[in-house]
Amino acid sequence: MTPERPREEDAIPEYYDVGDVEDALVDPSASPLSGSGQLYAALDLGTNSCRMLIARPRGSQFQVIDSFSKTVQLGTGLEASGRLSRGSMIRTIQALRICQKKLEKYRVKRMRLVATEACRRAKNSRDFLRQVRKESGIQLEIIGPEEEARLAVISCAPLVNVTTEQLLIVDIGGGSTELVWIDLTGVEPADRPRAIMRLHAGFSPVGAGQARVVDWISVPLGVATLKDQFSDVEDDAARFALMSWFFEENLASFAPYNLDNARDGFQIIGTSGTVTTVAASFLGLKRYDRAKVDGLRMSSDQIDTVIREYLALGPEGRRTDPRIGRDRHSLIMSGAAILQALMRVWPTDRLSVADRGLREGLLYAQMSADGVLTDGPYE
């Protein structure tokens, strides 16, 4: 089956304009400090990565001016000790110093700089945040699972099809995985993407014609933490199977778990490095191309084919596979185990791949609060 891009009548314009934001400025010929509108920043410090975007409002969208992404492995050893290790904190602070220099370079005044699961769980996270502020100048805030889920949801709004009635958004992180089930049957089709955007204010609907969050869950298992739990299993295939079934067991309390989703109006949106890597592998991309990956629609069978290829490659084959990348090869099977469990529970030919997430949600929420996104379809 050929992978499918969103149909023209389903596609919603992106609310930012960027190719591969990790490689270059959107418009290198323009001065980032000129033009209308102040700059905004969003930083996401997760269990595995430190990532930041700097952007300016542009109509109903935003334009990415600069970006940063670094694998810092902040959660290394956290599962066993309950603490952030000295080495992981040093790596992270080095990355955050680069972020601070970028914030100073662009004179950014409006920003949200957040930390997620690793800092939520670590016993020494408060000491770490004080050290970060002292040594890098960055002041991080730890956000809760619900806010993390909300921000991931609104970042995916442009990928919601107007025909979607039941929507599952999945954000596979380094230390946790957030799932949000949204009922859109009470929303007019043309208004469904905009209704998702309005969820930045909270998961409790207000009034008629609103998106209704049926249930949401934050599973304390991501690509790094799940891998750590099964690191003592030497057999590659056995470890993968155990990880996948273990993750599925942790979904049992999720309300729509047994819902029959074999209906035309069901859509899953997956946002994470795991999902985009699987999509890039399916397309055979030796160099990542966001324009080809973001919004790609895949079926359960296509995803399963890629995962079987990963297993056949083995650890050494995955390490050298250019489609996976050197920063992802050690974590791709734990992420694939999570993705396979989701596809086993909710098989679909309508999984939309989202190369967007917490940073984009943070930017949208700030700009929306300031009222600087205008003349567009989102409120």
pLDDT at 113 > cutoff 80: yes
pLDDT at 12 > cutoff 70: no
Q: Give me the pLDDT at residue 14, please.
A: 31
pLDDT at 111 > cutoff 60: yes
Q: Give me the pLDDT at residue 3, please.
A: 45
pLDDT at 353 > cutoff 60: yes
pTM recorded for the entire structure: 0.83
Largest CA distance in the chain: 57
Strands 61-71 and 16-17, sheet pairing: parallel
- Cα separation of 105 and 101, whole Å? 6
pLDDT at 253 > cutoff 50: yes
Report residue 310 as tokens. Answer: 């990963």
CATH of domain 155-354: 3.30.420.150
Give the number of other Cβ atoms within 10 Å of residue 255's Cβ: 11
Q: Give me the pLDDT at residue 379, please.
A: 36
Mean pLDDT of 47-73: 91
List the chain domain ranges. Answer: 16-146, 155-354
Which of 3.10.20.30, 3.30.420.40, 3.40.50.880, 3.30.1330.20 is the CATH number of 16-146?
A: 3.30.420.40
Q: What is the mean pLDDT of the chain?
A: 85
Q: Give me the pLDDT at residue 348, please.
A: 84
Q: Is 14 or 299 the better-scoring residue by pLDDT?
A: 299
Q: Give me the pLDDT at residue 184, please.
A: 92
- Cα separation of 279 and 267, whole Å? 17
The dihedral through the CA atoms of 46, 49, 50, 54 has a sign that is negative
Q: Give me the pLDDT at residue 327, please.
A: 76
pLDDT in tens, 188-232: 998 888 888 888 777 875 566 788 898 999 999 999 999 999 989
